Amino acid sequence: MPIHLELHRREPSGISSTSASHAAVRRARARPGLTEGEIAHLFEALRHGRVPERGIGALAVGLDRELDEMERQLALAESGAGGLKFIRGGYGCGKTFLARLVLQKAQAKGFATSFIVVSESDLKLHRLGDVYRKLMSELSTPSCSRGAFGAILREWLATFEGKGLGSPKKPRKQMAPRNALDEALDRELESLSRREVPHDFLRGLRSYVECVRSGERARENAIVSWLTGSESVSAPEKSGAGIKGDLKSGDALQNLRGVVEIVRAAGYSGMVAVIDEAETILRMRSDARHASLSALRQIADASGSYPGMLWIVTGTPQFFDSKYGVAGLRPLHDRIHFLTCSGYASARQAQLELRPFDAKRLEALAMHLRALYPSKAPKHYERTISEAFIERLIEKYASGIRSEVGIVPRHFLRELITHFDLADEYEAYAPWTEEHITQNPPRSEATSGKADRSHSDRFLHHEAREVREPQRSETHEMHEAVW
């Protein structure tokens, strides 16, 4: 249905020098620590409705409470604790954004990180061997954006070489004497064995060290691929490296324990792994759904025994509360179910709740992006994309909705940045004289009331009956008497 709210009022045609200087100050303040490349990447990602991978701290508006909790989780992991945190929120609440922002902060604190997305076709959660391979392929450090385990192994090797010589790390050409290195390696592998790292993984590490010492780079690369779970290492390469078969899928979580130990031994603070879009499980067949939830329970059960590792899992309220999701697996649900009391929810419980964007938060984000935008014609841009224009644009999106606008932010941001670009490209562009929004903006399911069913809803309710979803008061709220 078209929206007939029009924007016919014109803004003043001029802009004072004082206003221009204030605008320059705002732009400078909006860009602390961001390079031109990061700013360009940020806007390019938002144009395509994606969460940026770099510079996303500039978009962190209204998340102080949530970020404080995630900083607390990182501090626990840095101290050697293993942890698991769930992020719950409706579509468009910013779960992926927050998860990526936490990874950025984690790398700044010296963690290795990995970000994977549950998929019906590419990554099913119940196939833990595939989860392990994907985590390893996406393993990242500040100096290596993907597939960083090979680089981490070299740092690990340099570390215990230094231990063997009783000195700091040394470059590969200054290898420790063979006997001293053998003794250091034996101590290292024995220590890993006591931490329940699988023997196959330990044999792979020993073969890796031998290949590095002998300078056999091809075999070294084959062993790194094998340790990361690759199934493409040929039989001759395995034979030449002294290893057999593939890493077993049933040992995936144990292999990951070995990875975390290597990461920490190499000098990193630990490892943070994100599993995004867990609600995809709801669209799978019942047997795959149950197996995936069981796998998630395995991860939850084991998470505390991974010193220095923080798991982060994102999902919608339906994933956590529906009997087709976590609520359908009682042992897991009892451990992590979401609790509220008198409308309050602690950020420190297992599930961290993200609220939908409201108009105030959306305006703060829009104004911050306005100041950050790298315009080639700043005077015209500031005059055209005025504060009043942004307020009216938000009114259009929020028309007919209460203070919680329930807008999926990416749709609003795409339109906003289109206005930024048009104002920068065309001197005659005057959005006040045009009607740009011709249909109701998409809303977040979290606040849209009788919103259209999602794809997962339609799949789960394919029968000719409708299953009533439990209300928060039925599944989450603790009785007042408890308090």
Strand ranges, E, within 266-386: 270-276, 309-315, 351-353
Which of 260, 265, 255, 259 is closest to 158 using CA atoms?
265
Q: What is the pLDDT of residues 404-425, one digit of tens each?
A: 445 567 788 899 999 999 999 9
Q: Which residue has the higher pLDDT, 237 or 29?
A: 237
Q: Cα separation of 406 and 411, whole Å? A: 11
pLDDT over 50 (residue 4): no
- Other beta carbons within 10 angstroms of residue 473's beta carbon come to 8
In which band, very low, low, confident or very high, does the pLDDT at 49 lie, cut at 50, 70 and 90? confident
Q: Cα separation of 49 and 236, whole Å? A: 46
Q: Tell me, what DSSP letter sits at residue 341?
A: B
Q: What is the pLDDT of residues 108-155, one digit of tens each?
A: 999 999 999 999 888 989 999 999 999 999 999 999 999 999 999 999
Instruction: List the beta bridge partners of residue 115.
Output: 274
The mean pLDDT of 13-41, rounded to a whole number, is 58
Q: Please name the residues in contact with 34: beta carbons below 8 A apart, sequence gap of 6 or more.
A: 42, 55, 58, 372
pLDDT for the residue numbered 478: 36
The mean pLDDT of 434-453, rounded to a whole number, is 45
pLDDT over 60 (residue 1): no
Instruction: List the beta bridge partners of residue 83.
Output: 310
CATH architecture of structural domain 62-141+268-353: 3-Layer(aba) Sandwich (3.40)
Cα–chain-centroid distance for residue 400? 33
Q: Cα separation of 200 and 243, whole Å? A: 8
Q: Cα separation of 146 and 376, whole Å? A: 34
The mean predicted confidence, pLDDT, of the chain is 80
Q: Where are the domains of the chain?
A: 17-58+357-433, 62-141+268-353, 149-264
pLDDT over 90 (residue 195): no
Q: Cα separation of 425 and 330, whole Å? A: 57
The mean pLDDT of 252-263, rounded to a whole number, is 93
- Burial 65-89, CB ≥16 within 10 A → b, else e: ebbebbeebbebbbeebbbbbbbbb
Q: What own/partner pairs with CB < 8 Å and gap ≥ 24 does 15-21 have?
A: 15/379, 15/382, 15/383, 19/382, 20/378, 20/379, 20/382
pLDDT for the residue numbered 75: 98
- Other beta carbons within 10 angstroms of residue 311's beta carbon come to 22
Residue ranges of alpha helices (H) inside 48-177 are: 64-78, 95-108, 128-137, 149-165
pLDDT for the residue numbered 163: 59
| Whether the Cβ atoms of residue 405 and residue 362 lie closer than 8 Å to each other | yes
pLDDT over 60 (residue 441): no
Burial tier of 136 (Cβ tally within 10 Å: 0-12, 13-18, 19+): buried
Q: What is the pLDDT of residues 300-336, one digit of tens each?
A: 999 999 999 999 999 999 999 999 999 999 999 999 9
pLDDT for the residue numbered 280: 95
> What is the percent of the chain with per-residue pLDDT over 90, rounded to a whole number?
47
Which of 273, 340, 347, 279 is closest to 310 using CA atoms?
273
In which band, very low, low, confident or very high, does the pLDDT at 30 lie, cut at 50, 70 and 90? very low
| Whether the Cβ atoms of residue 91 and residue 445 lie closer than 8 Å to each other | yes
Asked which of 1-10, 24-33, 225-234, 283-292 is least confident by mean pLDDT, the reply is 1-10
| Tokens coding 215 | 């300078």
| Side-chain half-sphere exposure of 286, counting CA atoms within 13 A | 5
Q: Tell me, what DSSP letter sits at residue 261?
A: H
pLDDT over 90 (residue 88): yes
The mean pLDDT of 429-443, rounded to a whole number, is 57
**DSSP state string for 85-97:** EEEE--TTSSHHH
pLDDT over 80 (residue 439): no
Cα–chain-centroid distance for residue 197? 27
Q: Which amino acid is at 422?
A: L
User: What CA–CA distances, in Å, run from 12 to 25, 385, 422?
Assistant: 21, 12, 18
| Tokens coding 345 | 């929810």
pLDDT over 90 (residue 23): no
